[in-house]
Amino acid sequence: MLRKITPAAPPALSGLLLILCFPNWDYGWLAWFALIPLLYSLTTCDLRPTTAFFHGWLCGFIWKTGSLHWVLATHRYAGVPWSASAGGLLLLAAYLALYLGLFALAVAFFRRRSSHWTLATACAACWTLLEYLQEYSWHPSVEFPWGFLGYSQWRHPALIQTAALWGVYGVSFLLVGFNALAVCVLFPLQKQTRKLPIAGAALSLFLLNLGFGLYVLKFQTPSSSILSNPPSPRFPREKKIRVTLLQPDIEQYKKWSPQYEAEVKKTTEELLREASKNPADLVIWPEASIPQVLQEKDYLPWLQKLIRQTKRAHLVGALTRNLDRYHNSAALFDPKGNLRGLYHKNQLVPFGEYVPLRAFLGRWIAPLGEMGEMQPGKSLTPLPTPFAALGVSICYEMIFPKLIREQVRQGADLLVNLTNDGWYLGTSQPRQHLSMNVLRAVENRRFLLRATNTGISATIDPWGRILQQTSLDQRTYLSFSLSLPASQGFSFYCLRGDLLIGLSILFLLLSLFTGQAFGKQQAPPHEL
């Protein structure tokens, strides 16, 4: 019956299921089964290489078009014509779908020469390597590690604790491995295949991951990460930090219009005055909170006056200028209003903050905004405060595991993400962005504080549990107390990095040799 279905239907179904795994749908449990239709088409049919590649590409194109729909909304909000907005979305989806096309090509190859066990391993390893290539590519402009499969589990803390060992790539590896084993049970390569051991392996893979997560959450975490009770003797704590996160909810284009400058300042002052009723050691502002450039006009004196009135340290997202070079920055001020440190955004947004491949594209694309291009920072050194070393990331940087891991390795006690997701209106982008913050906290076993302009601001503990969060499009703030452990060690992932990538390469090499030992599997008689 299934063989009579249109050949492109299974990969298209997988693409639709993958959309449902992520915000706003958030049916994360579907990720354990979403790839079965695609893998069915790749393993039960003797596909030509071009057909296999197309099946993977089609699945990826549908998935990425649905998940990245906010690209269209953002361009339309900026006044870009419908045709150009839709074209930008489709081009991005088509590019990212190439990775799934390569995955499908590899699966079709290993299906011809592998046992069920080596095929499942090869599927998981190939997928993991291709996700890794989206973070480490030949040019920063094509690095876009957004929406990896492992992020689909962000609302299930027990299922993501392995990220502290292998990163988000490890969660993706488990998901793809489970899907591949399930396909081997449902649609075996050979009729005489014993299904029970394969089904047992798939179930064991899930239960081991779940069991590890439950063990960590029960025995390696305090009962509450935000202190309302005295510290537990089993989890001694030393540094208590009182923090306020500001969410001013200022409309995106009002922020940069001189016409609304007074209104933006007034809104900020009122919110800060209200938030100051709560005790705090550190006040954190979202990305680009200051209208225009910090050093221009009277913005710096105005900001320093506000800080002195609150008598607290402030971490402020602002555009800064050094001679003729502009940066997207985070500025750290002490309670007296003195500038104590600057962090400049390292990973800039292509076409949003700079024009990639300017020598080639510059003739068609004008400099961005009135200030032209931003310049990337060169340092990931944490900003020191009396209470903690702050590992600061700005917006888009949070989706790069390598950046956050390096900050922790350089001594960051507390992770802070300053974001402005006001460009994306009521789309799923802010929730997708939040989901990646959750995995960064687990990977590095650090608290992560997220301050945004329009939401979602949040406090995330080192085990990926969201302790507090705001709603979208809400003018508000979060005030709370944290206590950091007396000594914060490093997670295995933070110390060893992407060890799983090297293991995946080894798995693929072993799959090649073991596949040859097993011999070519009997293929179905028909070809697509």
Output DSSP code: residue 398. G
Query: Which tokens hold the place of 223?
Result: 């009962």
Q: How far apart are CA 100 and CA 54, in angstroms?
A: 9
Catalytic annotation, pick one of 287, 353, 397, 443: 287
b/e code 340-371 from CB counts within 10 Å (16+ = b) = ebbbbbbbbbbeebbbeeeeeeeeeeeeeeee
Q: In what order do the strands lie in the sheet with 237-247?
A: 339-344, 325-333, 313-322, 282-284, 237-247, 476-485
Query: Which tokens hold the place of 2?
Result: 């299934």
Q: To which residue do tokens 């197309």 refer?
A: 54
Query: Which tokens hold the place of 503?
Result: 């293991």
Q: How far apart are CA 81 and CA 140, in angstroms?
A: 27
CB 330 within 8 A of CB 343: yes
Q: How far apart are CA 179 and CA 35, in angstroms?
A: 6
CB 451 within 8 A of CB 419: yes
Catalytic annotation, pick one of 21, 45, 395, 494: 395
Q: How far apart are CA 390 and CA 282, in angstroms?
A: 11
CB 483 within 8 A of CB 318: no
Output DSSP code: residue 354. B
Q: How far apart are CA 437 and CA 449, in angstroms?
A: 9
Cα–Cα distance list, 162 to 35, 209, 234, 311, 434 (Å): 21, 7, 23, 41, 19
The percent helix, strand, coil of the chain (3-state, each to 5) is 50, 15, 35
- Residue 482: in which H helix or E strand, if any? strand 476-485
CB 144 within 8 A of CB 133: no
Query: Which tokens hold the place of 335?
Result: 């309670």
Q: Which residues, 6+ apart, have CB-to-CB distance to 370 below 8 Å?
A: none
Q: How far apart are CA 61 and CA 54, in angstroms?
A: 10
Establish whether 277 is a catalytic residue.
Answer: no
Establish whether 297 is a catalytic residue.
Answer: no
Establish whether 345 is a catalytic residue.
Answer: yes
Catalytic annotation, pick one of 345, 353, 397, 443: 345
- Residue 452: in which H helix or E strand, if any? strand 448-452
Task: Reduce the secondary structure of 141-176 to three states and give it as a string.
Answer: HHCCCCCCHHHHHCCCHHHCCCHHHHCHHHHHHHHH
> Residue 171, Cα to own-chain centre: how many angstroms?
13
Query: Which tokens hold the place of 480?
Result: 């709370």
Q: To which residue do tokens 């014509």 refer?
A: 81
Catalytic residues: 287, 345, 395
